[in-house]
Amino acid sequence: MGAVAGAGLGAAAVSDFFEGGRLGGPSAGTLPAGGDRPGAGSRPGAGTRPGTGDRPGAGTRPGAGDRPGIGDRPGIGDRPGIGEGPIAGNRPDRIENRGERQQSRQDRRSQIQDQFRDNHPRWDFWRDHPNWAAWRLNRPYRWATWAALTGWIGYGWSEPMYYDYGENCYYEEEQVYYGDEAVATSEEYVQQAEAIATTPAETTPEKADWMPLGVFAITQDGQASGAPPTMFVQLAVSKTGSISGTFTNTAAGNETQTVEGLVDKKSQRAAWVLSGKKRPIMETGIFNLTKDTAPALVHFEDGQTQQWLLVRLEEPKEAATQQK
């Protein structure tokens, strides 16, 4: 997903992501790489790789018109230019100082909260998505705790897996590591993300119960400050682990598109795509989405992978008042 380094940069990057455009992203050598590897006690077992047997069965995936929150997609002329994509300095590099990275995420979160506290995104969620209320999703800005998620999805998770890309999950010599264990090649890791994101839903959305995961602003990871984001994603999860929600681009006439995906049982990876597409893919850990900031990866069709950050937005006061 996109970045926010300047007034137009984030809009172009994220719009190109959702339109499948090619970004000037990092080469394989600049994918998230590890600093000091954590000890063996923090690594997952071999069973943490996503397997096919534990994913929801292949039912008939609902069409875009059947999923919650679908909007009208803009024409080609409304898309920001690809040439405005991320510059080389935005590529994810090896993290040398984990504390500094964590602090930059908190600083960016605080800045975004300040930017939107008195000037929330100019889109009326309930006007644009009245059908969400009928899908038992009455508070889209609310989010789930880990305890609530484990009870809701029922996958039998005992311990959460946090994906801190560039730290405990990183690329090194075409291998992807979680902790100090190689879990897949870089190519296999993307293939796994695609399998997760595009597995057919077990049930149609109108027959599912949904737990809100929140509304997030999309920005760069590793930057403590930036222009106000113009891209937002709202996510929810069903009891069978399906992901659904909406992507809104306030810089392109409040463009809204539907996203869909899945949470993998073994690895706890949550991955999603635009409805009906296989690329690009955005992924993070489902546990990450219980936090105020969620590091994420985006896998593009041309083989590039980039690192981004989701920053949780607080519920607008007027929305909270209306729901009381």
Model pLDDT for residues 7-66, shown as the tens digit of each residue? 333 444 445 555 544 333 333 333 444 444 333 333 334 344 444 444 444 343 433 334
What is the DSSP code string of 206-274? GGS-EEEEEEEEEEESS-S--SPP-EEEEEEEETTSEEEEEEEEGGGTSEEEEEEEEE-TTT-EEEEEE
pTM across the whole model: 0.69
Q: What is the pLDDT of residue 87?
A: 30
Return the top range by mean pLDDT from 69-83, 94-108, 217-231, 278-292. Answer: 278-292
Are the beta carbons of 213 and 235 closer than 8 angstroms? Answer: yes
Q: What is the pLDDT of residue 213?
A: 94
The answer to whether residue 255 scores a pLDDT higher than 70 is yes
Are the beta carbons of 53 and 41 closer than 8 angstroms? Answer: no
Extract the tokens encoding 7: 């007034």
Residues 6+ apart with CB under 8 A from 244: 67, 68, 69, 205, 210, 235, 236, 238, 258, 259, 260, 261
Closest CA to 243 of 190, 283, 277: 283
Model pLDDT for residues 116-170, shown as the tens digit of each residue? 765 555 444 445 555 554 444 557 778 889 999 999 998 999 999 999 998 899 9
Q: How many CA atoms lie within 13 A of 280 on its CB side?
A: 27
Kindly state the average pLDDT of the residues 103-119.
65
Q: What is the pLDDT of residue 227?
A: 75
CA distance 156 to 275: 28
